[in-house]
Structure 1
Amino acid sequence: MKKEKIQAFLALFTATFFWASAYIFVKQLLDNVSPYVMLVVRFGLASLILIVIYNKRLLQINLEMLKAGIIMGVFLFGEFFTFTVGLQYTTTSRSSLIIASYIILLPFAYLLIMRKRPSLSDIIVSIICMIGVFFILGNDLGSFHLGDIYCILCALFYALYIVISSKYSRRYDSGILNVLQVSTTATLSMVVLLFVKDHRFYVTFRDGFQLIYLIILCTTLPFFLILYGMKHVSATTSGILLSFESVMAAFMGIMVLHEPFTLNLFIGGTIIIFSFILSELLPKILKR
């Protein structure tokens, strides 16, 4: 395996770990901080840090780069808005595993953006993953609530974001794209904040530490690592590596926040993890 590919795997895995830990910090911060304010602070400060880091490269921005970065930022905002707001209404373990259903939507995102039809293996994996999601949601409609709707929308935005990022990260400078997508997300977050009434921001010393962790290790660093990784591996492989975020987040939620570990969660989570592995193995099996 080439050195660049190994580095890409490590970059994506590191980003996955930090994004998984973000579930814990966001969930705890929501007790004192409005999700809308959190988005503004998180992405606003992250964008300022990135602008300082990449200030010289920003002189290279042209119209095509600007367009690409803004498009990525729109889908990134959709992903993090639905994730942050949705986490108010559900547990981190349930949220992370439902969001992991983006693996179902990846083939259709490819079809929509890349005009590439889903293969037989894509369809099989999607069906298996969907079964896992149904287990997590529960056996009756009564267990389906507002948080689940936000998580499903987050999965949709996540799938679209992965395909779009894979497309543009190979064409343009990752540092410039990072600045543009995070700044776009910060701007859209500020616009939303103008139209909502929830402006809570009661920050303790512990909350301040958690916010700094979110801004630097869960926002600024991961996007750089992800865009670097996507330059050297396929979008499908990137999606599979990033999918382990859900497993890590669910485990952290149960261990750190003492969230309930139900049979449905175990069965559904196992099926979803199996679908991740199958998405890599099945295409090779069917080609034989």
Structure 2
Amino acid sequence: MNAIRVLERLVPEGALLFDAAVHDPARARTRSGSLGSNAIRDRIDAFVVWANTEASRHDLPGQRIPPDPHGRIGTARFRRTLAWHIARRPGGLVALALQYGHVRTALDTDESGRYGTRSRSGIHRLVDIETAMATADAAADLAERFHQGEGVSGPAARKALLRATTGPLFQGGLVKRDFPLKHELARRHLAREGSVLFDNPHALLLCLYQRDRALCRDDEQLAAPVLDRCVPGCGNIVRTDQQAAALHQRADQLDHRAGLLPAPIGDRLRANAVKLRAWAQDHDLTRFTAEENPT
């Protein structure tokens, strides 16, 4: 966000953020529009050199940017990074639309809404793959924690453990030459309703999404949960000991902040802290472990 604001101050009103006439004035007469991919790569290379020089000057070896094993960093690489954040953050698509104004990019499903291209290899495919990988990671992590003795709770806990330990997982990273195959596998993985486990770090819970039990959908036939509208008491919820401990920690932070703020705001923060502790205590009372209740 800060970088976008800086760019807005560098270019004239109504100009492109990476306007070639501003950022590459030596070639302004020979080209129009935004900087080309080669120019962007040159600037990224220059930034790496500058950052490493500053790290050495301030004796901060841990801040150096190491050589990239995959070669020079180009604009195509950013789409993968963007897809990762969209897929692994609640409300990611909405945040993308609000922050960068790509409303059609974020919310449309037709071909005209593809990011940076009208082909079928737009960012939506990348988001599908990253989302499938994120759900597979969540399932594997849940199974591992449970077998190591961590307790779980929630109306969907037993079913989630069964799916995590016996169901098929989406495996493998993104390889360019079999990208269409990866996308098709990702779509099939995400289409298994009632078997896909979504992590919601903001609500500190897991969601084994099943439409007829979801309280986030508001009568909409959604193929995935709306993770920024999680409702306590939903039949899709799963919670782990680690998430319950994080609820207690977040409640303590709210109480601390409440003591530093005016009464009306402080009262709201304390009320939220009470809710968080109640959810954590409910987990503590209903949790089960592999030793107590193996699946």
Bin of the TM-score, shorter chain as denominator length:
under 0.3
TM-score by length of 2: 0.24
Higher relative contact order (CA 8 A, sep 6+): 1
TM-score by length of 1: 0.24
Higher strand share: 2
